Amino acid sequence: MSDFLGALSAVFFPPRCIFCGEVVRYKETVCPSCAEALRACERTGAAVRGDLHCAAPYFYMDFVQEKLPAIKKREGRVLADWFAPRMADSVRRTFVGERIDWVTYVPNWEKEGERVYNQARVLARRVSRELSLPLTDALYQIRPKERQHMLSAAERLRNVQNLYALRDEGGVERVSGATVLLVDDIITTGSTLLACAQALPGTRILGAAVAVTEREKQVSGNAGPS
């Protein structure tokens, strides 16, 4: 759309903040008050879960904790568009000098032949584009998962053990020796990522998410979804 037509259409269909719906200025996607609330949740540096290093631009707290769950729905795609470049930046900053071979994601439970919306895949696809890396549908989920959020860290780990497996077309030979960026939306205990890593033998796994919980919150048992 030309700038003129874009500006004209913005008069009749004013752009709205993707987080709160407030009218924003032409070509903006987030209102000043949401931008401020997001800034308060920003984090830097690697989050470590077990041996796994993870890049995430935000803490799962306050505004991010309130708004991020909407990404699980198809309508939340617009949030994925917004968060993915920030995840890619966080990956670049956290894993300086790492040569990543490909990107994959935490799969969903899908009955045979069924394709369900997976926010982790949507994020992984966008992040892979940002980083000019291939995206691989490497894993699948073997069985439905019990809900995680009422479980302790140890129970979560048991709940997700042997939950994921390599897709046939993944081919263990192609997997072995690779450095893989494994994407999820939120990381709390890291049990889900660690379970996925088990299904990718011989690889070096680097985690990436929109948000991670602070360790202190997690230790006190006040953790959100996996």
Binding site for Zn ion (CB under 5 A): 17, 19-20, 22, 31, 34
Which CB sits closer to Zn ion, 76 or 190? 76
Q: Which residue lies nearer to Zn ion by CB, 37 or 139?
A: 37
Q: Which is nearer to Zn ion, 34 or 133 (CB)?
A: 34
| Least spacing, CB of residue 35 vs Zn ion, in Å | 8
Work out how close the CB of 112 gets to Zn ion at its nearest, in angstroms, rounded to a whole number.
Answer: 41
Distance CA 55, CA 64 (A): 16
Q: How far apart are the first and last CA of the chain?
A: 40
Residue pair 208/55 in contact (Cβ under 8 Å)? The answer is yes
Would you state the torsion angle of the CA atoms of residues 8, 13, 14, 18, taken in this order, to the nearest 10 degrees?
A: -130
Alpha-carbon dihedral sign for residues 110, 103, 213, 192: positive
Least Å from the CB of residue 42 to Zn ion: 16
- The CB-of-217 to Zn ion minimum distance in angstroms stands at 25
Quick one: tokens of 182?
A: 């494994």
Specify the residue, 34 or 200, whose C-beta has the smaller distance to Zn ion: 34
